[in-house]
Amino acid sequence: MGKLHKGSLLALSVLFCLLLCGCQGLGGKSPNQRSVAQVMALDLVPGSEPIRLTLRVLDEEGSPEGPASFRTVQAQGKTITGALGEAGRQLGKEIFLRDIRLVLLGEGLCRKGIDSFQNFMSQSYQIRPRVSVAAVRQEAAPLLEADDSGEAPADSLVPLLEWNNRPGNPAVTVMEAERLRSAGEGDCFLSLASLDGEGKGEVSGAAVFRGGRLARLLDVREAEQLRLLAADPRQSVVVVSLPGGGSASFRLTGRKGRLHGSSVQNIPQFTSKFTFEFQLLEFDGNSEDSSNLEELERALEEKVKGEMEECIRKVVFDSGADVMGMAVSQRRDNAEWWNRNRDWRKEREGETLFEKSVFYLDIKCRITQTDVSIPLIGT
């Protein structure tokens, strides 16, 4: 009885003191002491505090039953963390970043380099491992400005850009970031967001990054080629002109195979053996001559190969961005060469080994699904 008496008295005293002091233990805060950010936009502005942060935060005063209402807060700082601190001071609450769904990066920041942003994302436990990131032509902040109805262009971008496990996004998966880091490369591509004519947000292309800096902006068609290269099935619709006249449209449903890296006389070589799977969406051709499955597949292969070659030339060689994972494939398949030539991007005698790379594209296309009732003849 004595032991319990002493022990329980001690525990009660400690508890009473803790409650009296309002001790928050491990620094937690009640929900009403936090402000939940949903969309973050980062721009580069001239001045001593070059990072301009715009946040779209949840307005907690709204009713939980009705649609969510937001407000926008803007702050500047020398670093992203500094700007966040300033935004928190403006709001009077701690900013909760762990529910951010979309990050928009302004063109100025992209050209300067997104290394600091990548570091912020990968080291911060706060951000979800999979969050959508997009580049924006010119400034990102206007996409967060709400109109009279309270809607901002960024709101419509969120469902467009939420994606899983796509290569190229610097923060899309931790695994990809790890692979890129171990390959010593930081090239990637992001979707390019902008305002449409009606003031709504739209995806208008892609932004290619080399070494963490913006190398090239691609238009919609070029972005589709890039998505084909990266096997992103969203918006990867291929329209093929049929030999007998007419056209057919297909949607990419999957890609098998990978890039193989090798070297011949120290020149890196890449062989891509890809098998693309398509779903036939629409068929507008001569049913007698053009409904042969093999013909369609052949037409597809020609189209896809052409698109990919064009994309590789423009994106990979003209911009110098390794968006296909060439470095990763060399590291994996040709480790000895890779260990000797990790600096393959360095100029030697006016050109780099990277630029000398030779590509062999071995493409096969398979039509695996169709929802069009045409008599496809297969042999």
Partner 1 sequence: MSRRKPVAWKKCLQQRLEQYRRESYISPPSDVPRQDHLKSSLLENMIALRQQFSNSSDLLNRELTVCGLKVQLVACEGMVSLQSLSELLAEPLNALEGQMSSPQQLLDWFRGQALLALDQKEVCTYSQLFQFLMSGFAVIMADGLDTAVCFGLQGFNFRSISEPSAEVNVRGSREGFVEPLRINMTMIRRRIKSPRLKFELMTAGSQSRTDICLVYMTDRVSEDFVNQTRLRLQQLPMDIVLESSYLQPFLEKHPYSFFSGIGTTERPDTLCAKVAEGRLAILVDGTPFALILPYLFHENFQTVDDYTHRPIYAAFARVLKYLSFYMTILLPGLYVAVAVHHLELLPHALLRRVMAAEASTPFPLMFEALIIQLIYELMREAGLRLPRPVGHAIGIVGALVIGDAAVSAGLIGSPMVLIVALTAITSFVVPSLYDSVTVLKFLFILAGGFFGLFGVTLGMCSLLLNLCSVSVGGVPATAPATPFNPYSLRDMFMRSGWRFLGKYVFHIEDVPGSQMGDKRLHGQESAGEEKMDG
Partner 2 sequence: MVKTRISGSQAVVLLFLSRMFALLTVSGGRDGQVGGGLAVLAALCSFLFQLALFLPGWLLARRHPGQNFAEAVTGCLGGAGRGVSLLLWLLLVLLAGMSAAEFEHFLVSAVYEQAPRLLFAFLFLAAAIYGAWLGLEAFGRFAYFGFTVFALLAVSLCFSLAGDFQTGELFAQTSASPASFLRTAWSMAAGDIELLCFFLLLPSLRTGEDKGAPAGKGLFFAWNGLYTLAAAGFILLTVGVLGGNPSTGQSYPFYTLACAAEGSLLARTDAIHMSMWGILGLLRCCLLLYCASIALRCAVTVSSRRKSLLNWAAGHRTAVTAFIAFAAALLLAGSPAALNGLRRIWGGGIPILCVLALFPAAALVAGAVRSKKRRKEAAGHGEAP
Residue indicated by tokens 């007998």 = 244
Nearer to partner 1, 11 or 374 (CB): 11
One of 81, 91, 99, 282 touching partner 1 (CB under 8 A): 99
How far is it, in rounded angstroms, from Cα 301 to Cα 296? 9
One of 10, 13, 16, 60 touching partner 1 (CB under 8 A): 60
In the list partner 2, partner 1, none, the entry touching 60 (Cβ below 5 to 8 angstroms by class) is: partner 1
Rounding to the nearest 10 degrees, give the CA dihedral for residues 54, 60, 64, 68.
-20
Q: How far is the CB of 13 from partner 1 (least distance, A)?
A: 14
Does position 23 interact with partner 1 (CB under 8 A)? The reply is yes
H-type alpha helices, 263-366 = 287-290, 293-311, 326-333, 335-340
One of 31, 46, 92, 197 touching partner 1 (CB under 8 A): 31
Q: Which helix (H) or strand (E) holds 213?
A: strand 213-218
Question: Total residues at the site for partner 1 (CB under 8 A)?
Answer: 28
Does position 30 interact with partner 1 (CB under 8 A)? The reply is yes
How far is it, in rounded angstroms, from Cα 211 to Cα 209? 6
Does position 92 interact with partner 1 (CB under 8 A)? The reply is no
One of 61, 148, 336, 351 touching partner 1 (CB under 8 A): 61
One of 71, 130, 200, 305 touching partner 2 (CB under 8 A): 130
Does position 331 interact with partner 2 (CB under 8 A)? The reply is yes
Joined together, the tokens standing for residue 299 give: 């037409």
Q: How far is the CB of 27 from partner 1 (least distance, A)?
A: 8
**x/- map, 247-276, partner 2, by CB under 8 A:** -----------x------------------
Nearer to partner 2, 111 or 179 (CB): 179
Contacts of 12 (CB under 8 A, 6+ apart): none
Joined together, the tokens standing for residue 137 give: 């032509």
Joined together, the tokens standing for residue 251 give: 């949607």
Asked if residues 239 and 248 have their Cβ atoms less than 8 Å apart, the reply is: yes
How far is it, in rounded angstroms, from Cα 97 to Cα 341? 40
Kindly indicate which of the ranges 170-178, 243-251, 302-310, 351-359 contains the residues binding partner 2, using the contact rule CB under 8 A.
170-178
- Which SS3 state, helix, strand or coil, does residue 226 take? helix
How far is it, in rounded angstroms, from Cα 311 to Cα 298? 20
One of 6, 29, 346, 356 touching partner 1 (CB under 8 A): 29
Q: How far is the CB of 15 from partner 1 (least distance, A)?
A: 7
